[in-house]
Structure 1
Amino acid sequence: MTTPPTPVSGLSDPDYAAFAWRRFRRILGWMAIIAAIFIVAAILVLQHVYGPMGWVAILAVIGGAGGSIMLTAVLMGLIFLSSGTGHDEAVKDID
């Protein structure tokens, strides 16, 4: 006796997976714009408070602030992607 095939859902469905990944990339794009605005504002404030900054300090702000914002955006986006596509619920169906 064979079991009926399970319906394709979540990221297993190619059309829905394309939609979900497109939404994920759009969110990351907006977060990159927000990170860029924050980085420019942070550099301007730091230059106002401490005077002219060297390239190393500017790169440190870009890497530190921008990297932190983008890493947080990627990880939170993946959590929402996993939850929104049903992958979190599919764990209990692993037989």
Structure 2
Amino acid sequence: MTGRSPLDDPENARFAWGRYRAILKGMAAFSTAVVVVVLAVLYWQVGLVSIHLFIATALGVWLTIMLMAALMGLVFLSSGTGHDESIEDRLGAERDR
């Protein structure tokens, strides 16, 4: 039988999702700083080639970092709240043999 997740409690869920949003806001600021550095290095290396190159680079770098932050944040959210321990382990008995 599946246990109750700590995220079922509204107060725990509010705290956990607030922490997740704070992580994402911090990573958005960090990602923006990385994009500025990358664009400066790109301009220094190749000069002004095409605005489309700079836009594509900025979006690619920013979205890649944010995707990583969102997925890792969800891992931390799930693990940090005890949600992972509340699942039913159907393979537990088979694994323990």
Which category of TM-score, normalised to the shorter sequence, fits these structures?
0.7 to 0.9
In percent, how many aligned pairs have the same letter? 44
Offset from partner CA, 1:55-91 (integer Å, 9 cap, x none): 2111111221111100000000000000111111111
Structure 2: gaps spanning 5 or more residues: 91-97
CA RMSD, Structure 1 to Structure 2 (Å)? 1.7
Q: 1:41 to 1:53 in 2, by over 3 A?
A: farther
TM-score by length of 1: 0.85
Greater relative contact order (Cα < 8 A, sep 6+): 2
Structure 1: gaps spanning 5 or more residues: 1-5
Moved over 3 A (4+): none
CA distance in 2, matches of 1:45, 1:23: 33
Per the alignment, residue 18 of structure 1 pairs with 14
1:57-68 alignment, distance < 5 Å: 57-68=53-64
TM-score by length of 2: 0.83
Q: Tell which deviates more after alignment, 64-73 or 52-61.
A: 52-61
1:18-37 alignment, distance < 5 Å: 18-37=14-33
**Amino acid aligned to 2:40:** L
